[in-house]
Structure 1
Amino acid sequence: MLRAVNRVLLGLVGLVLVCAGGAVLAAGLDLGVPSWWPWRGPDAVLLSESGRRRWAWPVVVAVLAVLVLLALWWLLAQPRRHRLAEVLVDSRDGESAVLRGRAVEGAVESEAEALDGVSRARARLTGRRTAPSARVSLLLEPHASPDETLSRLREGALRHARESAGLAELPTEAHLRAAKHPARRVT
């Protein structure tokens, strides 16, 4: 959805800028603009003295501020990773089945939380329906070995998810954090 909004918005902005630039260029070069055209000739100004007095400057500043905030929101929305809603599974009969992304995430989370030394797991699928990728966050208990936990995650939960969805590969980014625990007193 964001990709479609980006394309439509960029297309509209580009069209407006090209039309406005062409119109100003045509008027500036005195290429025979229509009689109703507000700017004629190279000496014409965009906003006359009376026009500048007529504008309510607080309104102009408010509109420009809103436009800047919308542009910033749009810019910050670009790098977000959105959750994958479904995974396309090849059923090997010429058709394809759809597997809910949340179901795969839930299966990976529950299997990862069952691993020794993992107190909490979160999984998220991103990418395309035909080529998903996973992002797994694990909260490790103090006695857990990160190397062993990663290998058990790879050979257990991620392999099961990859095989059940019929995927050739499931690229995964794993984030490991240690659970905070109180310091022990030595007496």
Structure 2
Amino acid sequence: MSRRTVNRAILAVVGLLLLVGGALVLLGGLDVYRHLGITPPHWWPLTSPEQPVVSATSRTRWTDRDWWWPVAIAVPALVVLGGLWWLFSQLRRGGPAGLDLPSPAAPGQPHFALHVRSRAIEDAIETELIAHPAVDRVTVRVTGAARRPEVHTALRLVPGADTAALIDTYRTGPVERARRSLGLAALPSELRLRVARPRKARTKKTPRVR
């Protein structure tokens, strides 16, 4: 499951809970039930402006139990830690910042390493792919560990593009050249294809004769 899918699911659940909770508080605070002549069930959380959101009975129902206070402290703590983890996971980049490439040195000289940024690798692959006549749009992301990078590519193709030929070009072209340039034994890659919608041809309007 991708990070985008997880983010959308989390935001959808949190938004739904906030929407439902806010609607219940608003209906009770504005005394909507009385104005509409509706009698909510006895277990309804908030029915009138004078009623607290959490009643005294609900607040003290389990306070005499041994497990109540550990649970009351642990649950909010887990919620806060989960929120902080999600926040920091959005701030950090999903892939390595760069790769260190060993370079041969002159005899008697120590070996050194070249540092190549992941953005440079992504730009190189994108530049080569966007030049292909069948490609309308391209997005490349380098993810994984610094020693085991992975390439994730999303292509939007023009209508009528030869998909099989493009896949073969992708494997033997930019990805293979990137693997050789980085000195890697293997460079796993994922390719997603999407065909662009054909653009509607503009029809010339016939001038009206008065």
> For the superposition of Structure 1 and Structure 2, which TM-score range results when normalised by the shorter chain?
0.5 to 0.7
2:102 corresponds to 1:90 = yes
Do 1:115 and 1:152's aligned partners in 2 also have CA atoms closer than 8 Å? Answer: no
Give the % identical residues: 33
Q: Partner residue of 1:137?
A: 154
Task: Give the secondary structure class of the aligned counterpart of 1:144.
Answer: coil
Query: CA separation in 2, counterparts of 1:177 and 1:69?
Result: 39
2:127 corresponds to 1:110 = yes
Deviation at 1:75?
5.9
- CA spacing shift, 1:181–1:77, aligned 2, 3 Å: farther
Over aligned residues, Cα RMSD in angstroms? 3.4
Mapping for residues 70-81 of structure 1, pairs under 5 Å: 70-72=81-83, 74=85
Do 2:138 and 2:153's aligned partners in 1 also have CA atoms closer than 8 Å? Answer: yes
Query: CA separation in 2, counterparts of 1:169 and 1:137?
Result: 20
Deviation at 1:116?
2.2
- CA spacing shift, 1:175–1:89, aligned 2, 3 Å: same
Q: Partner residue of 2:79?
A: 68
Unpaired stretches in structure 2, ≥5 consecutive residues: 1-59, 64-71, 106-110, 202-210
Query: CA separation in 2, counterparts of 1:178 and 1:73?
Result: 38
Q: Partner residue of 1:153?
A: 170
Task: Give the secondary structure class of the aligned counterpart of 1:159.
Answer: helix
Do 2:96 and 2:118's aligned partners in 1 also have CA atoms closer than 8 Å? Answer: yes
TM-score normalised over the length of structure 1: 0.57
Q: Which has the higher contact order (CA 8 A, sep 6+)?
A: 1
Deviations 1:110-167 (A, max 9, x none): 1011112001111111112122110011111002121111111111111121122222
Mapping for residues 1-187 of structure 1, pairs under 5 Å: 65=76, 67-72=78-83, 74=85, 82-93=94-105, 94-182=111-199
- CA spacing shift, 1:148–1:105, aligned 2, 3 Å: same
Task: Give the secondary structure class of the aligned counterpart of 2:115.
Answer: strand
Unpaired stretches in structure 1, ≥5 consecutive residues: 1-48, 53-60
Query: CA separation in 1, counterparts of 2:155 and 2:102?
Result: 30
Q: Partner residue of 2:20?
A: none
Deviations 1:62-87 (A, max 9, x none): x9657525425536877997032101
Deviation at 1:97?
1.5
TM-score normalised over the length of structure 2: 0.51
